[in-house]
Structure 1
Amino acid sequence: MTYTSRAALLAATLAALPVTAMAQGAFDDALRLDPAAFTTVTVTLDGAPLTLRRYTAVYAGNPVAMATEQPARSMGPGGSPAAADTQTLDDTLTYQSLAIFVPEGATDAAAMILNVSNSGWFASELEPEVVEGGTYVSDSDTDKVGAALAAGYVFVEIGSRGRGIVAADGTLPGKAPAAVVDAKAAIRYLRLNDDVIPGSADRIVITGTSGGGGLSTVVAASGNSPDYLPYLADIGAAGVAADGSSTLTDDVFAVIAYCAITDLGHADMAYEWLYQGIRSAGTTADGVWSDAGQAASATLAEGYPAYLDSLGLTQADGTPLTAATMKSAIVAEVAREVDRVLAAGVTVPARGADFDITLRGRGGETQIAVPNDWLTVTDGAVADLDIDGFLRFVTQTAALKPVPAFDRTANTGNEGVDGENTLFGTPDAAYANFTPYGWNANAVAGDGSGMDDTGMDFAAWTAGEGAALAEQLRLVNPMAHLGTDAVAAPHWYLRHGMIDRDTSFAVELALAAAARADADVEDVNFALHWMTAHAGDYDVQTAYGWLAGVLADK
């Protein structure tokens, strides 16, 4: 197949348009990359030296002015920044900057790996994983940089806004959908400059983990959506003209996402629907929950079936994916992964014996032993898999999140800013409850969120004065864009750990099903990875082997 670059296709398309439709982006001239403006980085790849060109740039023509002093990057209890710690920025543009690494020999057809961070949907500074003198290998299951460079791909890393950052004027510029807008602006920057550096902006592969996985899936689902143009115009993104029209696109070729934290407006319901029986039985790693927590769990669980059923999803075999079939679908995915590892020679302990599990975290590796009270393997195949036992097993590897799991600030006895709430609300508000339960149960007077302060329940608030809150939720949710006129990535690689309790398995299966149903999507490669907790980039050989395959078909 003859490969034609997006730059060539775009030039041909624009040449055929009326002159009035060809107004360039308001900041395009300032955002043009000088191909000679690079530094040289030398790394070691598979024991041999490799020279890279590094281009560093601000990808927004009108970047947000940031305060020099920012909250610390280190996480405190509950996943929020440690409140007492601050950091001083060396570069106040770091949240809207990118670094492009071009390996020797990269061609104009090479894929571009767009690596995003944003763990917990927090802001992410530009902190490249590619560093001078770094050592990388191509055959590791945890070294995506080595795999990408060995394949000749261009590796792009970005900083982006997110919750937890402060602007120079004291406001909070990382509210939703800032991270999505910034990723789209970076993509547009690559498109604008596709003609001056190796690599193809027609083959952008966005990848991330956790909040970064969620961000990646939103970008992959919402390509070219006009809903983001006002936000892109505000920061001076490439290709956005003064009249608000666009001459560039921001869709991507593929997404590789791990443990995506997404569908936040329904994630609490999905979590309790899956785990409510475990909580009520008091069999989690941290014991019995409070009466308030138990009541909230039951209320949230009751709301999920109607939402799930309203999506009209189907499984890969065409059967409906509903509240009545979701747990059996989860069982099937777990069994499929068990069969995979059995075929690879993994030994599964007998019923009643212990699984020896290695948990990897910021503090290193921890070994735990958890009884197998859910899985029976006979003659090298799954003979019995009990879903309730499996869910209990998951909760013994890591304690369940508090109730609610995501929108927990200022309700249900929870104190402090501890959920994803800081992602939502106005730039001058610390947080906002973003679900009907969280909003209606808000118990902190004077915080500007909830019925207690507004006199309106969630439905009334978001239908009127608080419509912007509903829009924030929609613009960070891939489910709101799949199946619409937005251009979805044709190729999806989605992974979630088999013992990852950070979000409901139902959220991940629903996302995969929604992607499969989108007319733009050609393939969805989804799995629950063996004995893996909340993590990413643990199956690099499989992921980048899959990517090589889909690239070869184009």
Structure 2
Amino acid sequence: MTINKPLSAVILTSIAITAHATPQDNNPLKDTPFANQTAHGYSLKFDPSKFVKKTADVDGQNIAYRAVEKIVYVQHPIEPEYQTINFYVPEAYFTNGTINGYSAKTVPIFLPNSVGGYMPALASTADAKGMGGQTSTILQALKQGYVVASVGARGRTLGTEGNYTGKAPAVIIDLKSAVRYLHANDANMAGDANKIISNGTSAGGAMSALLGASANSHDYDKYFAKLGSAKASDRIFAVSAYCPITDLDHADSGYEWEFHTLTDYEQMDMSKLNAQSYNDRSTPMPKITGSLNDKQLAVSKDLQNQFPSYLNSLNLKDENGKALRLDANGKGSFKDFIAKQIIASANKAISEGKDLSNISYLTIKDGKVVAVDFDGYVQHKKRMKTPPAFDALDLSAGENNLFGDKTTNNKHFTAYSLKNSSVASNLADKDIVRVMNAMNYANNPYASQYWRIRAGTDDYDTSHAISAMLTAKLRMNGKAVDYALPWGVPHSGDYDLPELFAWIDGIAKK
């Protein structure tokens, strides 16, 4: 989902919007000129003279910082309103000061994206309010002492019929191009471009993960050349990914593996939604409830049966070297691996004072959770999506829209949905599907070393198998992964900023 405000404990869901999306009316910078536009296009050389001094109140503390907003990060943008960075630097670094032990040259660069639902994402501004009127994540990061490069990117609804401009892999090409801009200008910008930490939620979490995993891969070179991206590295130091919707090729089977016992659903009513109302979260969106019909139940069974063979083909192991497997019935050590995360989450909640004694699917002894009935846990909520959850048979899902191309708005991207499609369709280019999946780059030698992955126990938007598989594969390739399923948290992000910032400090100060 595209939230052009920082995310703060907000429920998100994936949707299909196929109308042409123009720069949002609520874009606070819509009348602001581009910072680096010249008579000959866009300069990729950072200009420090563009800084504007600003202040803000953050939790009763006055924060002074400087900003350069609407920097177009490629020479030949296709949608310049979206292909921008808003760059923010704490004032202390302009007077050789330090904050939180960082100087202008040692401080990490926090790189939040506003991508969600693979929709177009404007670069968030520091003064935008977070959900519920809370202080923006950007200002919280500035208070912590970080330099912030808030980045925008193209999304699936951009363009007009016959000339769609935001289809895959546009979003990841844009994010990588922004990182290249930061590396190319490292000598003239505050912050250490060798310590960029990306942050995103939902589809933005998937793109944060892909950004970290696919660093410096040549798979994207032809796209960089077309945009005039800076000729520099797109490697980042660390990844923060909240509820990442990745591995879309197998997300449908993963969803039914976990949620196949749920026949009732509750999902957002998208029938009257357009790009503008989608970005306006001032009023709650209505929900549709219902039960799966016989055809949907049959699809669920088909997809559920596909997942164990896929999971087993990955040859995953846990941190102790134990194989993570599933039998034909979907049970096994991989399911136990996720159950252990749920138990750990419940015990953390108890240690923080939550009373979980009335939760029937938990076994508690001496004030500590010792077991979880996984199937009982799944039953505590309704499913959020009908099968297939992502590659809809009628091409109505946001991901169908993502994998369209310049002239075709929506496509299938799995063989199963194409075979069982209820409408005429083509299959998306397999190479484009491949370069959108972080799982395909976990063994990349340039991939980020440090990862923080969060998916709440109440997140039924995507199977918990997705984050678990990514975690296991990264760890097998020597990456340090801080993985947890926070208790009672739905599909959301930026809800634990003190913990996130403590993690960043822990790795950045090594």
Query: What TM-score do you get using the length of structure 1 for normalisation?
Result: 0.74
Aligned to 2:200: 208
Contact 2:164/2:407 (8 A) holds in 1: yes
Question: What is residue 432 of structure 1 aligned with on the other side?
Answer: 411
Of stretches 316-325 and 221-230 in structure 1, the one that deviates more from structure 2 is 316-325
CA distance in 2, matches of 1:512, 1:474: 19
Structure 1 residue aligned with 2:297: 294
Q: How far did 1:542 drift? A: 1.0
Question: Which residue type is aligned with residue 127 of structure 2?
Answer: V
- Work out whether 1:373 is the aligned partner of 2:360: yes
Give 1:256's aligned amino acid.
Answer: S
Identify which of 142, 146, 158 aligns with 1:153. Answer: 146
Give the superposition deviation at 1:127: 3.3
Q: 1:400 to 1:47 in 2, by over 3 A?
A: closer
State the partner residue of 1:527.
484
Contact 1:405 1:419 (C-alpha < 8 Å) held by counterparts: no
Tell me by how many angstroms 1:141 deviates: 10
Q: Any unmatched runs of 5+ in structure 1? A: 1-26, 67-92, 240-247, 351-371, 411-415, 451-465
- Preserved CA contact (<8 Å) 1:54 1:100: yes
How many angstroms does 1:142 deviate by? 7.9
Tell me which residue corresponds to 1:266: 250
Residue 287 of structure 1 deviates from its aligned partner by: 5.8
Task: Tell me the secondary structure at the aligned position of residue 163 of structure 1.
Answer: coil
Contact 1:253 1:489 in 2 (8 A): yes
Q: Is the 8 A contact 2:261 2:379 kept in 1?
A: no
Percent of matched pairs sharing the same residue? 33
- Counterpart of 1:131 in structure 2 is 127
For the residues of structure 2 that align with 1:227 and 1:533, how far apart are their CA atoms? 34
Secondary structure in structure 2 of the residue aligned to 1:102: strand
CA distance in 2, matches of 1:526, 1:101: 29
What do residues 411-452 of structure 1 show as CA deviations (whole Å, max 9, x unaligned)? xxxxx633410111321101100011111111223xx426xx
Q: Which residue of 2 aligns with 1:20?
A: none
Q: Which position in structure 2 is the counterpart of 1:254?
A: 238
Q: Which one of 178, 181, 187 corresponds to residue 186 of structure 1?
A: 178
Give 1 or 2 for the bigger CA radius of gyration: 1
Residue 141 of structure 1 contacts residue 538 of structure 1 at CA under 8 Å; is this kept in 2?
no
Q: TM-score, length-normalised on structure 2? A: 0.80
Name 2:325's counterpart in structure 1.
322
Pick aligned residue for 1:54 from 47, 50, 67: 67
How far apart, in 1, do the equivalents of 2:468 and 2:58 lie? 36
Instruction: Say if 1:41 and 1:131, in contact at 8 Å, map to a contact too.
Output: no
CA separation in 2, counterparts of 1:126 and 1:143?
Answer: 13
Question: Residue 42 of structure 2 contacts residue 76 of structure 2 at CA under 8 Å; is this kept in 1?
Answer: no
Q: Residue in 2 aligned with 1:404?
A: 388
- In structure 2, what is the Cα distance between the partners aligned to 1:400 and 1:252? 33
1:100 alignment counterpart:
87
- Residue 446 of structure 2 is aligned to residue 481 of structure 1: no
Residue type of the partner of 2:256? Answer: E
Contact 2:114 2:124 in 1 (8 A): no
Q: Does 2:44 match 1:31? A: yes
- Partner of 1:121, secondary structure, is coil
2: distance between equivalents of 1:401 and 1:34?
Answer: 47
The residue that corresponds to 1:24 in the other structure is none
Contact in 1 for aligned 2:443/2:477 (Cα 8 Å): yes
Amino acid at match of 1:148: A
Alpha carbons 1:99, 1:158 under 8 Å: kept:
yes
* Residues 168-187 of structure 1, C-alpha deviations (whole Å, 9 max, x = no match): x8511111111110000000
Instruction: Report if aligned partners of 1:147, 1:544 keep a CA contact under 8 Å in 2.
Output: no
Cα 1:506/1:142, change in 2 over 3 Å: farther
More relative contact order, 1 or 2 (CA 8 Å, 6+ apart) = 2
Which amino acid counterpart does residue 406 of structure 2 have in structure 1? P
Mapped to 2, the partners of 1:373 and 1:41 lie a distance apart of 52
How do residues 404-483 of structure 1 correspond to structure 2 at under 5 angstroms?
A: 404-410=388-394, 417-445=396-424, 448-449=425-426, 469-483=429-443
Deviation at 1:221, TM superposition (A): 0.4
Are positions 1:164 and 2:121 aligned together?
no
Q: Which residues of 2 match residues 344-363 of structure 1 at below 5 A?
A: 344-350=352-358
- For the residue of structure 2 that corresponds to 1:304, the secondary structure is helix
Deviation digits for residues 378-433 of structure 1 (CA, Å, limit 9, x no counterpart): 211114411110000133xxx330110000041xxxxx633410111321101100
Which of 537, 542, 546 aligns to 2:494? It is: 537
Cα offset, 1:341, TM superposition? 1.6
Q: Counterparts of 1:141 and 1:318 in 2: how far apart (Å)?
A: 43
- State the distance in 1 between where 2:252 and 2:379 align: 18
Give the deviation of 1:226 after TM superposition: 0.7
8 Å contact from structure 1 (residues 218, 478) kept in 2? yes
* 8 Å contact kept, 1:202–1:253: yes
State the AA in 2 paired with 1:318: G
For residue 116 of structure 2, what is the aligned residue in structure 1?
119
Q: 1:53 to 1:143 in 2, by over 3 A?
A: closer
Could you tell me which of 336, 343, 347 is aligned with 1:339?
A: 347
- For residue 459 of structure 2, the aligned residue among 495, 500, 518 is 500
Q: Name the residue aligned to 1:21.
A: none
Correspondence for 2:107: 110
Give the superposition deviation at 1:135: 10
Aligned 1:81-96 pairs, distance under 5 A: 93-96=80-83
Q: Relative to 1, partners in 2 of residues 1:161 and 1:346: Cα closer, same or farther, differing over 3 Å?
A: same
Paired amino acid for 1:449: N
Aligned mates of 1:296, 1:549 — CA distance in 2: 45
Structure 2 unaligned spans of 5+: 1-39, 94-103, 268-288, 327-331
